[in-house]
Amino acid sequence: MSESQFYTFITGGVSLMIAAGLLVAWHLWRMREEHQAGIVSALDGVSHELRINLQRFVSELGQVHAIEQAGPDLLLPVRHPQLDGVNASMIRANRNALAVIGNTYQELEARKMALRAALAQGRDPVDSLDDAMDATINGIATLYMWEVHNGARPSEVGRVRSWDVRDWMKGHNFTQQSLPGIHKSLRSDQVRSLGRVLPAVVPSLASTGACSVARCPASVACPQQSCPAWHPQSLLS
């Protein structure tokens, strides 16, 4: 083998090794991207699943409220296979937020069982219906935290405009129209349960001109839900 052939062989071998290394690196990068895309899709599925369950529960409560002799068969069991799959997997996710969603499902199922029992026994379902609405609003707050703030704790979010929450709820069809006959029976403390989960959600009353309290010390935004000018029903208006 001549010297020129030797150098040609070395150059070819090195080039082949570089090409092989680049191919392996590209495959590893592609696998990583596909894995990340799978994680995002799985977590989006958790969000979609919770939203569908909440919307179905709202629809069921509307039927219970509208039908005088409603039966327990109107309330379907709560299922969340997507959440179960994510919990069983080893993907990186906000496990605290997933636990909150799991607790939300437990509360929804417990309220459904109580309402189902009241309907089956022929009792007045008003109290059970109120409790179910409380659980539903808490679930909506959980969904908001998951979708908008990636499941962060309320203390980590800071101040959030109530108008933003209202627009988000409208975008998910959680409006007066989606609560036929029930919205009027929502007590203020029920809607305030959203504020208990999201204590930072306060309306910017002064900035929107909605504040009717003269000489209110909050010149920019009302900091207290106890303010007489604060109307929590506006979150659903």
Per-residue pLDDT tens over the stretch 80-93: 999 999 999 888 88
Sole residue written with tokens 């709202």: 58
Alpha carbon 124 to its chain centroid, in Å, reads 31
**pLDDT of 94:** 86
Query: Does the pLDDT of residue 102 top 90, yes or no?
Result: yes
Alpha carbon 91 to its chain centroid, in Å, reads 19
**pLDDT of 111:** 92
Write out pLDDT tens, residues 32-59. Answer: 887 778 788 888 999 999 999 999 998 8
Mean pLDDT taken over the chain: 74
Query: Does the pLDDT of residue 190 top 50, yes or no?
Result: no
Task: Tell me the percentage of the chain whose pLDDT exceeds 90.
Answer: 16
Measure Cα distances from 96 to 84, 99, 160 in Å.
14, 5, 21
Q: Which is more confident, 10 or 232?
A: 10
Q: For residue 195, give both structure tokens.
A: 């504020």
Helix extents (H) in the chain: 3-66, 81-88, 95-120, 126-149, 154-157, 162-171, 188-197, 205-208
Contact 76, 59 (CB under 8 A): no
Report helix, strand or coil for 160.
strand
**Comparing 1-5, 21-25, 128-132, 152-156, which segment has the lowest mean pLDDT?**
1-5
Q: For residue 16, give both structure tokens.
A: 């082949």
> Taking the model in full, what pTM does it have?
0.69
Confidence of residue 200 (pLDDT cuts 50, 70, 90): very low
Confidence of residue 195 (pLDDT cuts 50, 70, 90): low
Q: Which is more confident, 89 or 208?
A: 89
Q: For residue 200, give both structure tokens.
A: 């930072």
Amino acid at 166: R
**pLDDT of 181:** 54
Query: Does the pLDDT of residue 61 top 70, yes or no?
Result: yes
**Comparing 57-61, 91-95, 146-150, 215-219, which segment has the lowest mean pLDDT?**
215-219
Cα 186 to Cα 229: distance, rounded to the nearest angstrom: 18
